[in-house]
């Protein structure tokens, strides 16, 4: 942003779209470093939107979920538990980015767009307090997780623990 902000000011404004991940919208077990960088993009986007808005520069962020690419080729049925029951395609992320860069979104800044087949709609905060004596993964996550579990297709019920 620093590299283009001054040129965009001179041009009378513009649009910036940051790409993050759904990891920046909720916690992910075993992904502290990854998740924290995605949350940083979220804060950067909001701060830049406030700072650059008076110069006519809009700043938004896109948070892709399971998108099948050559780098991460997901089997078609690997996310069948999502509300849209499939993985996404890069073109679907690109369409949202194109919208945010267009004049059609001229009153949109500081916004967050999840392109994730409904994954973030399934996220929830843990419903039970952290247990005092646990081991392994449950100790790290307080006996719960805010991330949907594939096996169950929904969140783990921790209220009975």
Would residue 34 show up in a list of annotated catalytic residues for this protein? Answer: yes
Measure the CA–CA gap between 86 and 66, rounded to whole angstroms: 9
**C-alpha triplet 35, 129, 39: angle, nearest 5°:** 15
Return d(Cα 81, Cα 149) in angstroms, integer.
9
Contact 115, 19 (CB under 8 A): no
Element (H, E) at 137: helix 136-140
Annotated active-site residue in 6, 30, 34, 77: 34
Residue 148 parent element (H or E):
none
Q: Which residues are marked as active site? A: 34
């Amino acid at each position: 942003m620093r590299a283009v902000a001054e040129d965009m000011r001179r041009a009378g404004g513009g649009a910036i779209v940051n790409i993050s991940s759904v990891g920046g919208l909720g916690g992910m077990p075993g992904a502290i470093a990854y998740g924290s960088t995605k949350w940083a993009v979220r804060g950067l986007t909001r701060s830049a939107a406030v700072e650059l808005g008076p110069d006519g520069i809009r700043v938004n962020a896109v948070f892709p979920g399971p998108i099948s690419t050559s780098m991460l080729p997901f089997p078609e049925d690997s996310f069948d538990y999502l509300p849209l029951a499939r993985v996404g395609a890069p073109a679907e992320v690109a369409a949202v980015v194109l919208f945010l860069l267009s004049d059609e979104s001229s009153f949109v800044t500081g916004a967050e767009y999840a392109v994730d087949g409904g994954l973030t709609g399934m996220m929830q905060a843990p419903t039970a307090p952290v247990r005092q004596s646990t081991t392994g993964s449950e100790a790290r996550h307080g006996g719960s997780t805010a991330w949907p579990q594939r096996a169950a297709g929904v969140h783990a019920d921790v209220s009975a623990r």
